[in-house]
Structure 1
Amino acid sequence: MDNLARHLTRNFWADIERHHLGIDTLRLPADVATAWKERMRTRVQRCRRPDGSIEETVVERGDRTMIFINVRALYLDIARWAIEEPARWGPWVAPCPIKVAEIANQKRVTRTKARMDQRTRERLPVLEAFARASADHQRLRAAHLEIVRATPPGGRFTLDGALYTRGANKAGAAARDAEGRLVHLDRAEHRAFWAWATVEFLRHTGARVEEMLETTHHAMVQYRLPTTGEIVPLLQIAPSKTDVERVLLVSPELADVLATIIRRVRDPKTGLIPLVTRYDSEERQWDPPAPLLFQYNRAGEPSSINSQTIRETLKETVAFMGLTDATGRPLTFTPQDFRRMFITDAIRTGLPPHIAQVIAGHANINTTMGYPTETIEAHRAFIARRRTLRPAEEYRTPTDAEWEDFLGHFERRKLSVGTCARAYGTACIHEHACVRCSLLRPDPVQRGRLVEIRDNLLDRIAEAEREGWLGEIEGLRVSLAGAESKIDQIDAASGGMPINLGMPRQAPAQPARQKGAAHR
């Protein structure tokens, strides 16, 4: 309704009244209609320069076709109303200035897709650099905040070569620069932190910004394998456009981000996540209090973060990085850009489209296939050719016995010194001499056991050399090389300590069993 009102009032009738004074009828002359449609081709885009001035640039209007659609719908609605109530609506009937060819849906969809594809192509190559810049920006603002807090009220300090004077408030972090302008360093650190959290959350989940802002502490659940007891961390994503929730596997990188967010928003006195009431701008209603992850303390009261703040913090990170596009303008990032880059990169690196559809929460796979990936069509053709050559029985729903065998494979991967990464349905090529296998993922906790295995192999090699058992020496040396390689992998690994996610104390929810998807 907001878009409809804006299109019909500001973009249509207010524009016509401004350029054609005294007009009082919807029966527009041909030259008036043509001039209005020409003006709707472009709009003025305002961008703030680093020096504070405003730069105005004329760009092509992206919603031009939608404006035409709404104006045409208005004329057609009036014509229909005139049939039902001729006395009221008859005088308003007028020929529609918008032709059918001007609102061709396929052309609009094609242009929109081309524009969004170009955004993804420009931003995907610099995604890692942008993520590093957001982390650097956050660390810089945090360092500035520490400096101002270490300065007594009224004292002076230097940041990036500029002299500042701290305010008189002991609890605050406000300061004035050499020209007397007030700077709130705590607010700058707050915005830099949530820009970093947004970038990391969205690029590791592919979630929508509404879904991210609605994520609560209770969304993190644990799935425990029924036999081994191994815990798999999961993240429940509440639907924002569909009525179907989905569950994502929490990667180590995402776990680190979630743990950092929880440490920041947790109440230092109670250790709990404060309950926050959030206004849903899409549904136009207040949500019940919930332990939202994206919240902050505003003057002693916990408050939710809105999408507009998220977009502004991303712009500040771009300004800090100084990233520009081919035309020299700032290369802006929106929350939707991260979602498109996540899906595009996942499919481009080999993730089947139907799995990407489930992860992204698309109701129709054609939506997933609309993302700019050159490999999608090739992958679909490959799948089609493979299915014509392979028996149709392989694509049926598995039986209970097959499903239990499938689960059993993952439960039997646990070994004394680590985890076997062998794919389901493949045989062990080392006849269970796991220390030799490149697919063994050593557990850092079991480093001592691997050292014992290495020392035992050294003793056995020495014994074989004394006794002349030359036939065993070669095999023992292969095992020794494998054991030393696994020890080196553990020593070279960084960040091996487990991350405490601060899981809520509630019964873990187990995801529904989807046999067909797991079997495939």
Structure 2
Amino acid sequence: MSATAGVAVHGSKTVRLSGEALKVIRERFVPRPAIETWPATQDGADGIVARLRAAPLRERVPHTQWCRVTGARQILGWLQTFPGETWQQRWNASPAAASGQEWCRRATEWVGATGPVTGPIVSSGLVALVLADVVRPSLEWQLTRRAMNLQDRLPAMRDPDGFARLEALAGPERWASLTGRQALNALIRIMVAKGGTLADIAVGDALEYLDALRAHHSQSAGHTLFYAWLRALGTLPDDAPATLRNLSRATGQVSVEQLVDRYHLQCQPVRDLLVDYLKERQPGLDYATLDNISRFLARSFWADLEAHHPGIDSLRLPPDVATQWKQRARTKTERRRRSDGTMYDVVTPRLDSATLMIAVRALYLDLAQWASEEPARWGPWVAPCPISEADLNLKKTSQRVKARMDQRTRERLPALPTVVRTAKELLDQARLRLDAVREAPAGARFEVLGETFTRAKRPGSTWAYDHAGGRRDMAKREHRAFWGWATIEFLQHTGARIEEMLEASHHSLIQYRLPTTGEVVPLLQIAPSKTDQERVLLVSPELADVLSTIITRIRDPRTGAVPRVVAYDYNERVWNPPMPLLFQYDRSGEPSHMTGEFLRACLNDVLDATGLTDASGLPLDFDPHDFRRIFITDAIRSGLPPHIAQVIAGHADINTTMGYNAIYPAEAIEAHRAFIARRRSLRPSEEYRTPTAEEWDAFLGHFERRKLSIGICARAFGTACIHEHACVRCSMLRPDPDQRGRLVEIRDNLLARITEAEREGWLGELEGLEVSLAGAQDKLAQLDAEQTRRSAAVDLGIPTFRNVAGRHSASPLRPG
């Protein structure tokens, strides 16, 4: 469970660390103060009116100009009744500064106390004073009333060059969109409240605006595009946050004291000991491990002891206390809901109990060892360890985990084709619905896939209403369907971890020219992750299709480049540098990285549509890591040597790889490998000789005998046909595109024979014919997919490293 989650600890809640990164940024970047004196607000009333009558403040329409000047005079006359040496000071002293909403309702009453006025003229006068920078209403004031329609005038008056650059960077489509107008409004509001140009807007100003926006509008998610525009302008300092998204949820790397204090430990000496102990180990740990150990020791160990044994203050645990704690550590209590809605408690084994006990045992043993070096510091805390070696006998636990993993793999491996097919069907259907709603006029009815919808009346909207009154956002559904499909395809073809998938970028695609044949091979570079081991994977044609589709989708339509985005590492609690990540999307105009939480939700959408169930009848669930286990199992089952599978999977130990394999036990693999080694050592050297002419002819003849009327057989040399020459059914048949017509004839003949068998009641023959028909249709589908892949080639922009081809051994490769 994440350390940032508010996990209950026996009645008390942990301190939430989410938002700590935002606190650090607020301390580092403070907003500009709201000043009350500057040249424009110190002018006299006559000087201000004169400025309003001259360029650039003068309005082109005479009536508008008269309203602006008249309203400004009336407001200035009213403000003179309040104390202050500048117009801003008088504004702050007036009731108008307290609430923008009050100004809208009572401006005529307030200003009318000094003479006859009308509401529109007063509102027009206030706009003139804001444009002239005479008064600066606060951000809160601006957010509590309707916009003053400054988008057309203020940019040209305050910073024409800056806004022109910004518009060019954003592009005309984004600039004119709803999110673009919201971003422009945000920048204008900040300039109205603080003055200056775009280059003067500070990071603190942006944070202050977001705080004010959230205070007045709870639905303010996605309103950070203005900050991305400022970053693109290059006006912010180099150490400014790369994005303001999700800062309220991020923790950043907090101190050890914060990691321990989130669990409210009562015994101060023990609390100080745990802080000191963790600081001593911190240099040798990554942050994720430090976070886990702090949670084990502070929450699962000491906070649990304090909850069940109030007043405990020593690590020397009585035998009964230690026994009770170990029993609690091995199990956990979950609240579950019955079918009638009532809740009940159930005790289940804790999966991380062994890791917890290892952390506690390490604490006791470390203290005992360190006490010999620093007795004054660690000696008082040395105590007998309550965790014995017998408690850490993980053989049964490992066997249970292996059995559970194997069972998951065996259940999900046969279901994988269904999941893949369903993901593609959902994507195709979502695209058809999205195209239909875009083609339909606003407010019109349209039909797609047998369903009738009515498009929303707002121009450009992708919302549609069905006959039952439900509302669907077709663009959002297509978005989720696409990334669900992309996630499944990427994971099943690479066997990568989900964090590795999220870190895959456009730079991960490289080309390598084989030094022997000169063939160019596409490779996918997997960045160091769990084991800090970088590796490369061969890109199969199917994976190339997926990658090309993703790159085509995320490319900037103006430049053709993949946008660089900043991703938050939820394990190490740091922001990674900007990179052209593959799993990104346009979120309210700002390129944003995908999160594992979102991709899991997209995966669940596909699983819900499959209707698959497990052995207990419950809906079959897929975790992203299940695809990794399936990938390794299928690879080894298909004949890939385990040590090669280990390299592809990025495991440091082959036993880990074999633990993922659900087909063959580790003992059988090791025994087989040992047998091969012994056989090679005992085999007489005479066997390693030049083949005879007859043997060579037999080898060449094998390839001639593989040629068939509809393709070629891919079985290995020296192997017999295992399907009794039922080639249409065989997965080893590689159909020839030139023989498609012959395959169509075979399929049509099978359909006719099936019809005859159904009519005559030949049920025994019917089953065999249906199997052959499925094989023929599968071969036709392979040919169609190959044709589509060749006709839909996409330039991926893969970098070429020509020097890599020259880095090969000077000695020729020898067989064996």
Q: Same fold (TM over 0.5)?
A: yes
**Which sits farther off after the overlay, 501-510 or 174-183?**
174-183
TM-score (norm 2): 0.48
Partner of 1:266: 555
- Structure-1 separation of matches of 2:655 and 2:374: 43
**Which sits farther off after the overlay, 226-235 or 93-102?**
226-235
Partner of 2:658: 369
Q: Partner amino acid for 2:795?
A: G
**Contact preservation (8 Å) 1:353, 1:376:** no
- Structure-2 separation of matches of 1:162 and 1:15: 56
Say whether 1:256 aligns with 2:548. no
**Which sits farther off after the overlay, 112-121 or 344-353?**
112-121
The percent identity for this pair of structures is: 52
Say whether 1:504 aligns with 2:794. no
Change (3 A) 1:241 1:20: closer
Q: Partner amino acid for 1:427?
A: L
Q: Secondary structure of 1:197's partner?
A: helix
CA shift, 1:299, in A, is 1.1
Match of 1:427 among 692, 700, 703: 700
- Structure-2 separation of matches of 1:187 and 1:272: 24
CA shift, 1:342, in A, is 0.6
Say whether 1:327 aligns with 2:616. yes
Q: Partner amino acid for 1:293?
A: L
- Structure-2 separation of matches of 1:280 and 1:200: 23
| Count of residues in correspondence between the two structures | 456
**Contact preservation (8 Å) 1:262, 1:502:** no
**Contact preservation (8 Å) 1:72, 1:98:** yes
CA shift, 1:117, in A, is 2.4
Change (3 A) 1:149 1:123: same
Match of 1:278 among 567, 580, 591: 567
Say whether 1:494 aligns with 2:784. yes
Matches within 5 A, 1:132-147: 132-146=421-435
- Structure-2 separation of matches of 1:253 and 1:392: 43
- Structure-1 separation of matches of 2:684 and 2:626: 37
- Structure-2 separation of matches of 1:138 and 1:50: 34
Say whether 1:301 aligns with 2:568. no
- Structure-2 separation of matches of 1:55 and 1:192: 36
Change (3 A) 1:389 1:79: closer
CA shift, 1:142, in A, is 3.6
Q: Secondary structure of 1:323's partner?
A: coil
Say whether 1:43 aligns with 2:316. no
Partner of 1:210: 499
Match of 2:649 among 331, 343, 360: 360
CA shift, 1:211, in A, is 2.2
Matches within 5 A, 1:159-170: 170=459
CA shift, 1:505, in A, is 5.4
CA shift, 1:267, in A, is 1.7
CA shift, 1:131, in A, is 1.9
Partner of 2:366: 77
Q: Partner amino acid for 1:326?
A: A
Match of 1:127 among 386, 411, 416: 416
Q: Secondary structure of 2:591's partner?
A: strand
Matches within 5 A, 1:9-48: 9-44=298-333
- Structure-2 separation of matches of 1:258 and 1:319: 25
User: Max radius of gyration: which structure?
Assistant: 2
- Structure-1 separation of matches of 2:534 and 2:713: 34
- Structure-2 separation of matches of 1:78 and 1:328: 50
Q: Secondary structure of 2:786's partner?
A: coil
CA shift, 1:64, in A, is 0.8
Change (3 A) 1:443 1:65: same
Q: Deviations over 1:98-123 (max 9, x none)?
A: 23211224444333333322322222
- Structure-1 separation of matches of 2:333 and 2:441: 47
Match of 2:476 among 169, 187, 210: 187
CA shift, 1:263, in A, is 1.8
Q: Secondary structure of 2:613's partner?
A: coil
**Contact preservation (8 Å) 2:365, 2:385:** yes
Say whether 1:64 aligns with 2:315. no
CA shift, 1:214, in A, is 2.0
Partner of 1:465: none
- Structure-2 separation of matches of 1:82 and 1:383: 47
- Structure-1 separation of matches of 2:706 and 2:618: 58
Change (3 A) 1:364 1:95: closer
Q: Secondary structure of 2:796's partner?
A: coil
Q: Secondary structure of 1:125's partner?
A: coil
**Which sits farther off after the overlay, 489-498 or 284-293?**
489-498
CA shift, 1:71, in A, is 2.0
- Structure-1 separation of matches of 2:339 and 2:643: 44
Structure 1: 5+ residue stretches without partners: 396-401, 403-422, 452-488
**Contact preservation (8 Å) 1:255, 1:501:** no
Match of 2:524 among 199, 223, 235: 235
Match of 1:4 among 285, 289, 293: 293
CA shift, 1:201, in A, is 0.9
Partner of 2:489: 200
Q: CA RMSD in A?
A: 4.7
TM-score (norm 1): 0.71
Partner of 2:33: none
CA shift, 1:262, in A, is 1.6
Indicate the structure whose relative CO is greater, using CA pairs within 8 Å and at least 6 residues apart. Answer: 1
Q: Deviations over 1:248-275 (max 9, x none)?
A: 2222221221122122112222222112
Q: Deviations over 1:452-483 (max 9, x none)?
A: xxxxxxxxxxxxxxxxxxxxxxxxxxxxxxxx
Structure 2: 5+ residue stretches without partners: 1-289, 691-695, 715-733, 743-778
Partner of 1:485: none
